[in-house]
């Protein structure tokens, strides 16, 4: 099990990073990315802090992927910040996509999909087929999510991802303990978005380390 989109007390989450890791371990997760909200002001601090947690995470049987979620960053700045994040040690970079419930700048999806240093476009809303095809060609996965509001367009994201050949990932975008997904809940997110059982199993069983290496 993996989750590539989680938040902690380092930004707007309720759990300390190690508490999040412990709770994920109990639920059966082996790969967890902590991806707190980032812009130019806190990028370095977040990655530096998370790199200190990798040993403790292994004690709980979890591979921690230090990461960030670039959030409300002007689209023109996304490629540079994504590259900077990777250069200072981010294992994964996600971008806060054009969800229907927040005033994300138009062009954010496009900028993320065109950037090979971005790994996941989170909750991309009514993403266009052109942007999804760009994501596919650059190895950027499209996220379906359990988070309220952001999940309103999960069905559209699934249809567009399949039509474009984009990788789909299922994440929680967790901010609090009640947001975390066990296996059944994660499966329901996928089934509810229009995936069938086989597709859900394949997406949920994705080997994240191998995928990141292959795509990038």
For residue 181, give Cα distances in angstroms to 26, 52, 95, 184.
Answer: 11, 25, 21, 8
Burial (CB < 10 A; 0-12, 13-18, 19+), residue 4, is buried
116 half-sphere exposure, CB direction, 13 A CA radius? 6
Q: What is the mean pLDDT of each successive set of 10 residues along the chain, which is 216 residues long? A: 98 98 98 98 98 97 98 98 98 98 98 97 98 97 98 98 98 98 98 98 95 74
Q: How many residues does the chain have?
A: 216
The pTM of this model reads 0.97
The pLDDT score that the predictor gives to residue 6 is: 98
Would the CA dihedral through 80, 85, 89, 93 be positive or negative? negative
The pLDDT score that the predictor gives to residue 111 is: 98
- In the chain, the domains with their CATH numbers are 2-215 (3.20.20.140)
Burial (CB < 10 A; 0-12, 13-18, 19+), residue 5, is buried
């Amino acid at each position: 099990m993996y989750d590539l989109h989680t938040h902690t007390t380092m930004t707007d989450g309720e759990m300390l990073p190690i508490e999040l890791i412990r709770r994920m371990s109990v639920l059966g997760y082996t790969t967890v990315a902590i991806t707190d909200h980032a812009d130019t002001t806190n990028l370095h601090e977040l990655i530096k802090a998370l790199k200190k947690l990798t040993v403790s995470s292994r004690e709980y049987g979890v591979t921690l992927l230090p990461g960030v979620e670039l959030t409300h960053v002007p689209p023109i700045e996304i490629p540079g910040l994504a590259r900077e994040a990777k250069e200072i040690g981010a294992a994964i970079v996600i971008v806060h996509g054009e969800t229907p419930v927040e005033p994300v700048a138009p062009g954010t999806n496009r900028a993320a999909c065109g950037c090979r240093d971005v790994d996941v476009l989170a909750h991309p809303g009514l993403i266009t087929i052109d942007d999804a095809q760009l994501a596919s060609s650059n190895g950027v996965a499209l996220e379906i999510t359990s988070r309220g509001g952001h999940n309103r367009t999960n069905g559209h994201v699934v249809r567009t991802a399949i039509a474009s050949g984009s990788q789909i990932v299922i994440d929680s975008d967790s901010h609090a303990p009640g947001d975390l997904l066990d296996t059944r809940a994660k499966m329901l997110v996928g089934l509810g978005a229009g995936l069938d059982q086989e597709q859900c199993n394949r997406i949920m069983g994705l080997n994240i380390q191998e995928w990141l290496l292959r795509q990038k």
